Chain A
Amino acid sequence: MTVIDTRGPDSGKPRVPLIYNPKVRGIAFQVLLCALIAFLVWEAVSNAADNLARAKVAAGFDFWNHTAGFDISQTLIEYSTASTYGRAFWVGLLNTLLVAGLGIVFATILGFIVGIARLSTNWLVSKVASVYVELIRNLPLLLQLLFWYNAVLKALPEMRDSLVIPGGGFLNNRGLFLPQPTFHHQALATLIAIGLGVALAIAFVVWAKRRQIRTGRQSPVFTVAMFFVVVLPGAVFALTGFPVEFMFPEKGRFNIRGGIEVLPEFMALLFGLVVYTAAFIAEVVRAGILSVSKGQTEAAYSLGLRPRPTLRLVIIPQAMRVIIPPLTNQYLNLTKNSSLAVAVGYPDLVQVFAGTVLNQTGQAVEVIVITMAVYLIISLVTSFLMNLYNRRVMLVER
């Protein structure tokens, strides 16, 4: 394929030095470009100001503190119809972060499993994994979400025939209802114990590594760390007399009251995002593992490393260098794709803020700008962290 571009005089002979001087031309070109873009921006802004003024639409961010007056089906922080639009924004943002965060965790797990399965020597396993990846990657996410939402609503029973989950939960087409734990203040001790345990575990790992480098002697790192992180807080929890109480959901006339409620919209969105992104992560993982040449494994074996340390110390670190950048991209894609929540009625940032708030206030420019800024910040921060990580990995290589 060729691109035809006839712009710019092509003769390179410097007969008229000033015009053909590449530096001068470069500067002139840039000045022109800047002027053009400045003109376009100015035109757009003045038009917008004009149009808005003519339409007498309210402008500015005053709406932020006005009463919202609408209800949101899932709120992680306190919110009522008397709350402000600003509060609604935070509710939406947290809902986005919740679904994106959980989605990333599950998609990573599923993606790594499928990616490794595709490389399996087991014919059936690798074929099933391939079919999964091909099918999911070639279907639009929106279609998948609509399908899952429809399927979730259809597959789950009505309120009256709720499935009872052992331990006091319910599952029906209104959602998943689980007992909600409430902690007494004695639980604070356990919280401190967890913090202490993590700190001790990290300290031990550092010490063990130093000792290994110094003396070559290995320590049971995993066991000791587990002891600090799990057993210690567990013991404290038991000693303070299990200071926790569960609020069990119970059936009301229409719905199930109390407990933790997981909306079917949330389930469908999370499931759809995980299934979709995992297919892409699987490809990333597969490419990463394939990128480590076979010689590496053979060299490790010839040095006397066993298969598991080989995988842990030789293959995975090298594969991760290839995997991490596209993996981060997939995480960002998942976060951005969570905005499709609007199609299944999950109250994420776009649905709550760029949907209801935009409509109630009519301030399209402000609302869209804020929404875009949020996603931009998330993605810029992630790229920044990824670049830091990349630099570290690169240095290790040399």
Chain B
Amino acid sequence: MTRVLIGIALAAALGATASVASAQTLNTVKQRGNLNCGANGTLPGFGLPDAQGRWTGLDVDYCKAIAAAIFNDPNKVKFVPLTARDRFTALQSGDVDVLARNTTWTSSRDTSLGLNFTAINYFDGQGFLVRKALKVNSALELNDAAVCVQQGTTTELNLADYFRANKMKLKTVTFATSDEAVKAYDAGRCDAYTTDASGLAGERLRLANSNDHIMLPEIISKEPLGPVVRHGDDQWFDIAKWAHYAMVTAEELGITRANVDDHMKSENPDVKRLLGTEGKHGEALGLTNDWAVRIIKHVGNYGESFERNVGQGSNLKIARGLNGLWTKGGLQYAPPLR
């Protein structure tokens, strides 16, 4: 027994000495040679690997953007599929460098869980999916209904709040993963399935007969979804924020994957600052000055990513809506890059 323990102790001691050497996330990531990104793994449009293990989704693109900014290679990301339940501990324990898993920004998560929400890469709200045969037109008619929900989500809490606020009776059936919850709903265990509206659009496609199900018009909550990092590393926090804002800024300026090379010669000062031909904004972040160029070249701007993953270029066909640029009636707005 002791030999094993000595081994463990040695390993622990080695680890302890290693921890003194580096406390900065960016350095750790660079040394490791890849970014560890906590992703969903089961949600079409946000994070889902195909049978070959190729990941796609809006959140996946975000992680690829960070990897592109650091390594000039969007594939230097290791995606770690996380359930709603274990996502925060994975981030807290340093398992992942950034958590991009359609996570709702709430005050308690921001404070007592020791997390920092970076930006909002999708404005969402919670909705309900029901069978057409039920002939329900509003969530307010769901009194006494059984609702399937995933455990450990804000969804679970919003659902209870909504029913309590409207003095309706509720029967929740809680499952550890969204897969199980959807499957149980499909099997008739529940009258309704609830999650973020974007999720519903994706989950609906996974049902046996997706046309038998409709989404109710009510959106019962605000769900600002965004990537998350740990407390205590401001440089990494800045990188995580600006990776998103760079993509939004690129869309504001009309820079796309296809035309980014042409814009390199642009005289527009905003474009020059973004693409690093003027100023040292990349170096201020601890990156190279062409960091945004790398992001746009490899991943594209926010609009491209949106359309490709959840918009018209995808099966989900979700309209831009709240996620349109502020100039076009949406809420996506990047602070000025200067």
A interface with B by C-beta (< 8 Å): 7, 29, 32-33, 36-37, 39-40, 43, 51-52, 54-58, 69-73, 81-82, 150, 153-154, 158-159, 173-174, 252-255, 257, 263-265, 342-343, 345, 347, 351, 355-356, 358-362, 364
B124-169 residues at the A interface, CB under 8 angstroms = 134, 142-146, 151-153, 156-157, 159-161, 163-164
Which residue of the partner chain, among A52, A55, A72, A254, contacts B191 with CB atoms under 8 Å?
A: A254
CB nearest to A55 among chain B residues: B114
Q: Using an 8 Å CB-CB cutoff, how does the interface string of B169-190 with A read, 1 for contact, 0 for none?
A: 0111111100011001001110
Known A33-B5, A72-B174; 10 more pairs at CB < 8 Å: A7-B3, A36-B9, A43-B9, A57-B113, A69-B160, A174-B146, A254-B143, A254-B144, A257-B144, A356-B151
- Do B144 and A252 have beta carbons less than 8 Å apart? yes
Tell me, in angstroms, the Cα distance from A81 to B163 when the chains sit together: 10
- Do A72 and B187 have beta carbons less than 8 Å apart? no
Q: Which residues from chain B contact A39 at a C-beta distance below 8 Å?
A: 9
Q: How far is the CB of B145 from chain A (nearest CB, A)?
A: 4
- Do A73 and B171 have beta carbons less than 8 Å apart? yes
Tell me, in angstroms, the Cα distance from A140 to B199 when the chains sit together: 32
Q: How far is the CB of B142 from chain A (nearest CB, A)?
A: 7
Main SS at interface, chain A = helix
CB nearest to B170 among chain A residues: A71
Q: How far is the CB of A352 from chain B (nearest CB, A)?
A: 8
- Do B231 and A255 have beta carbons less than 8 Å apart? no
- Do B188 and A40 have beta carbons less than 8 Å apart? no
Q: How far is the CB of A162 from chain B (nearest CB, A)?
A: 12
B230, CB-defined interface residue at 8 Å = yes
Which residue of the partner chain, among A29, A153, A347, A362, contacts B189 with CB atoms under 8 Å?
A: A153
Main SS at interface, chain B = mixed
Q: Known contacts A55-B92, A57-B92; is A43 also within 8 Å of B12 by CB?
A: yes
Tell me, in angstroms, the Cα distance from A364 to B6 when the chains sit together: 28
Which residue of the partner chain, among B5, B109, B187, B191, contacts A36 with CB atoms under 8 Å?
A: B5
Q: Known contacts A36-B9, A56-B231, A254-B144; is A72 also within 8 Å of B172 by CB?
A: yes
Which residue of the partner chain, among A51, A153, A254, A355, contacts B187 with CB atoms under 8 Å?
A: A153
Which residue of the partner chain, among B89, B144, B230, contacts A253 with CB atoms under 8 Å?
A: B144
Q: How far is the CB of A150 from chain B (nearest CB, A)?
A: 7
Tell me, in angstroms, the Cα distance from A63 to B114 when the chains sit together: 15
Classify chain B: how many residues form its interface, as a range. Answer: 35 or more
Tell me, in angstroms, the Cα distance from A23 to B250 when the chains sit together: 76
Q: Which residues from chain A contact B151 at a C-beta distance below 8 Å?
A: 351, 355-356, 359
- Do B189 and A70 have beta carbons less than 8 Å apart? no
CB nearest to B85 among chain A residues: A359
Q: How far is the CB of A95 from chain B (nearest CB, A)?
A: 12
Tell me, in angstroms, the Cα distance from A362 to B89 when the chains sit together: 7
Q: How far is the CB of A322 from chain B (nearest CB, A)?
A: 32
B181-229 residues at the A interface, CB under 8 angstroms = 181, 184, 187-189, 191
Tell me, in angstroms, the Cα distance from A172 to B151 when the chains sit together: 24
Would you give 11 A-B contacts (Cβ < 8 Å), ordered by A?
A51-B93, A56-B114, A73-B173, A81-B161, A174-B146, A252-B144, A255-B144, A345-B174, A355-B151, A356-B152, A359-B152
Q: Which residues from chain A contact B292 at a C-beta distance below 8 Å?
A: none
Which residue of the partner chain, among B146, B163, B174, contacts A255 with CB atoms under 8 Å?
A: B146
- Do A265 and B2 have beta carbons less than 8 Å apart? no
Q: Which residues from chain B contact A356 at a C-beta distance below 8 Å?
A: 151-152, 156, 174
Tell me, in angstroms, the Cα distance from A235 to B13 when the chains sit together: 75
B84, CB-defined interface residue at 8 Å = yes
Q: How far is the CB of B113 from chain A (nearest CB, A)?
A: 4
B88, CB-defined interface residue at 8 Å = yes
- Do B160 and A70 have beta carbons less than 8 Å apart? yes
- Do A173 and B189 have beta carbons less than 8 Å apart? yes
Tell me, in angstroms, the Cα distance from A343 to B179 when the chains sit together: 11
Q: Which residues from chain A contact B180 at a C-beta distance below 8 Å?
A: 343, 345
B112, CB-defined interface residue at 8 Å = yes
Which residue of the partner chain, among B84, B142, B159, B230, contacts A359 with CB atoms under 8 Å?
A: B84
B254, CB-defined interface residue at 8 Å = no
Q: Known contacts A174-B189, A359-B84; is A55 also within 8 Å of B231 by CB?
A: yes
- Do B174 and A55 have beta carbons less than 8 Å apart? no
Q: Known contacts A70-B156, A359-B152; is A347 also within 8 Å of B174 by CB?
A: yes
Q: Which residues from chain B contact A55 at a C-beta distance below 8 Å?
A: 92, 114, 230-232
Tell me, in angstroms, the Cα distance from A359 to B155 when the chains sit together: 12
Which residue of the partner chain, among B8, B84, B143, B160, contacts A71 with CB atoms under 8 Å?
A: B160
Q: How far is the CB of B137 from chain A (nearest CB, A)?
A: 13
Which residue of the partner chain, among B89, B145, B188, B230, contacts A173 with CB atoms under 8 Å?
A: B188
B258, CB-defined interface residue at 8 Å = no
CB nearest to A257 among chain B residues: B144
B2-60 residues at the A interface, CB under 8 angstroms = 2-3, 5-6, 8-9, 12, 16
- Do A69 and B12 have beta carbons less than 8 Å apart? no
CB nearest to B192 among chain A residues: A254
CB nearest to B1 among chain A residues: A33
Q: Which residues from chain A contact B114 at a C-beta distance below 8 Å?
A: 52, 55-57, 362
- Do A73 and B112 have beta carbons less than 8 Å apart? no
- Do A351 and B232 have beta carbons less than 8 Å apart? no
Q: Which residues from chain A contact B8 at a C-beta distance below 8 Å?
A: 40
Q: Which residues from chain B contact A265 at a C-beta distance below 8 Å?
A: 173
- Do B85 and A355 have beta carbons less than 8 Å apart? yes
Which residue of the partner chain, among A57, A81, A254, A343, contacts B112 with CB atoms under 8 Å?
A: A57
Q: How far is the CB of B151 from chain A (nearest CB, A)?
A: 5
- Do A37 and B5 have beta carbons less than 8 Å apart? yes
- Do A351 and B88 have beta carbons less than 8 Å apart? no
- Do B144 and A56 have beta carbons less than 8 Å apart? no
Query: Which of B8, B134, B142, B188 has the most chain A CB atoms inside 10 A of its CB?
Result: B188
Which residue of the partner chain, among B9, B85, B231, B232, contacts A40 with CB atoms under 8 Å?
A: B9
CB nearest to A33 among chain B residues: B2
Which residue of the partner chain, among A29, A153, A253, contacts B184 with CB atoms under 8 Å?
A: A153
Tell me, in angstroms, the Cα distance from A341 to B114 when the chains sit together: 30
Please name the 8 residue pairs, one residue from A and one from B, whose CB atoms are nearest each other, closest first. A359-B152, A55-B114, A56-B114, A81-B160, A362-B113, A58-B112, A153-B187, A254-B145
CB nearest to B15 among chain A residues: A47
Tell me, in angstroms, the Cα distance from A57 to B12 when the chains sit together: 23
Q: Known contacts A36-B5, A55-B232, A255-B144; is A362 also within 8 Å of B176 by CB?
A: no
Q: Which residues from chain A contact B175 at a C-beta distance below 8 Å?
A: 345
Tell me, in angstroms, the Cα distance from A29 to B146 when the chains sit together: 61
